[in-house]
Each structure stands twice: as structure tokens, then as C-alpha cells.
Amino acid sequence: MVIQKKYLVSPNIQNDTLTQKIKGKDQDNKTINTKVIQECSLTIFLNNQEIVTLMCILDYPEYLAIGYLLNQNMIKKTEKIKTIDFDRELGVIVIRTNTKTNYEKILKKKIATSGCAQGTIFGNIYEEIKKIKLKSQIIIKHKWIYEISKKVNLTPSLYLEAGAVHGCVISKKNNPIIYMEDVGRHNAVDKIAGYMFLNKINTKDKIFYTTGRLTSEMIIKTVKMKIPILISRSGFTSWGVELAQQTNLTLIGRAKGKKYISLSGQHRVKY
């Protein structure tokens, strides 16, 4: 198996707390021990306010919490994080900042999305996204789409160990550099957002690859992160395509083998 050496962060398959072995029977009625994903709850507090409880994998709780708050407009990219306190036993993480947020206004409007494990969108994010136009001039070469997918598939992951998770990857050109997994693809995206924020990584020259569907939620999170190109091996929703076209996001779906379909921002694809 080819192992990618240049990831800044990637799935930690050596972490035994992320999976559990359960005894069962296979198709031949033989007794087997198989790994299953350890799904946990994580309650996020922003300063003194409880925000949400997520069902997730507790591999990178600090990145998940920060990314979630960023993508929900509850903290700004200019925000200074004072402390991050995580209690694994209680499943609670507290993010403390220098400024306070108008929680009541943001929490008032809540939309359940189509995300696995059910995602949420708060406030007027849909209206905000429609005003954004991604201006990045980066390109993606035709062969990179296949190469990124192949490299991701050959990387040791929880998906290969136990299944039941989605993967999200950030690439620079055709080189994957950040790989996050979770039971919901929206959680995996938020982990990436949190990691890139805390490590001050530029997003405007990156390519985003996901194993999940290209829904409105995925487009919103990608656009908020200012990433200009989004690829998935799965398909599209009409609202997702509409938002991608409005925001000038390059949207590439059903990327399997050397085949794919682009429904938005085709000017960035170099054939």
C-alpha cells in the first residue's frame, strides 16, 4: 500500500479509542471480531453559552469545535481564541474568546440540513453566501482529479479500517495535505476549517475533495472557507449547484476513475 508522507494531519488509525471491536457472524456463519466506529457526543460551549451537541468521532475535538463556530458565523476569522478546554469524560469542549457574540440573534434561526448525522445552519448564512464571488484564478488540471482521488484511496484511514465515515481532504495542486474523517461529512469539513484557522493556512489556492454528496451545506462551508474548487465522488443536489454557480465555485462531482462531471466554474478546469 502506498502511504502519503506529506500530510500535515491525517486519520490516526493507531488510536484505539476511535473504534471498538464487536463479535458477530459473517456470510458463512463464522464468528468474527470486527471494528466499528466509536460514535460519541460532543457539546460545544462558546464562552458561557452552550451552542450545540454533535455526534462525532473524538479524534480532533478542538478543530471540530473551532471550525463549527467559524462556519456558523459565531466567531470571526479575526477572532482571538483565549483558551480551549476539552473534557473527554464529559464530552464537553469550551472555547473562550476575547469578544462576545450575539448568540440569541444567531441561534434564533436554525435550519436542519441534509448532512449525515444531521447538520445545522444558523442565522442568515444562506443570504450571506449569495453575496460572495470566489475570484481565485487557480486551475485544476484534468489529471489531478484522478490523482487526488487515487492518493486519498491509498491513504490508511478509519474508512478502510471500519467504514461508516466520510472523508474530507485539502489538496495543494494534486498533493493531499490535510485529511479528516467523521460520521458526518459536515463534521469533517468543520475539522478542516478549524485546523486551517488555528494553523493560519491559506485557503484560496487549495482544492477540496470530499466523499460526501454535493449539497447546499457542503457548498456553503466551502465558500465560507474561500476554497475555489470542490470535488466529490458522489453526486449533486440542485440547490447545491445553484449556490455554486452564484458564488463562482468550481464544482466537480461523480468523480470516479477518470470520469467526472463539472456543473459550475468550468473555467478553472484545464483539459
For 24-83, the pLDDT digits (tens) are 999 999 999 999 999 999 999 999 999 999 999 999 999 999 999 999 888 999 999 999
What's the pTM value of the predicted model, to 2 decimals? Answer: 0.89
Helix (H, G, I), strand (E, B) or coil at 130: coil
- Share above pLDDT 70 across residues of the chain, in percent, rounded to a whole number: 90
End-to-end, the C-alpha distance of the chain in Å comes to 29
Per-residue pLDDT band for 2 (boundaries 50, 70, 90) equals very low
Higher-confidence residue: 207 or 115?
207
Q: What is the mean pLDDT of the chain?
A: 91
For the chain, how many residues are written? 271
Domains of the chain: 1-271 (3.40.140.10)
Exposed/middle/buried for 271, CB within 10 Å: 0-12, 13-18, 19+? exposed
- Are residues 66 and 98 in contact, defined by beta-carbon separation less than 8 angstroms? no
Angle, helices 216-224/238-247, rounded to nearest 10 degrees: 20
For 81-119, the pLDDT digits (tens) are 999 999 999 999 999 998 876 665 566 555 444 455 455
For 248-268, the pLDDT digits (tens) are 999 999 999 889 999 999 999
What is the helix (H) or strand (E) element at residue 209, kind and residue range? strand 207-210
Q: Which pLDDT value is given to residue 109?
A: 52
* C-alpha span between 69 and 97 (Å, rounded): 11
Least confident residue range of 126-130, 198-202, 225-229: 126-130
* C-alpha span between 193 and 64 (Å, rounded): 8
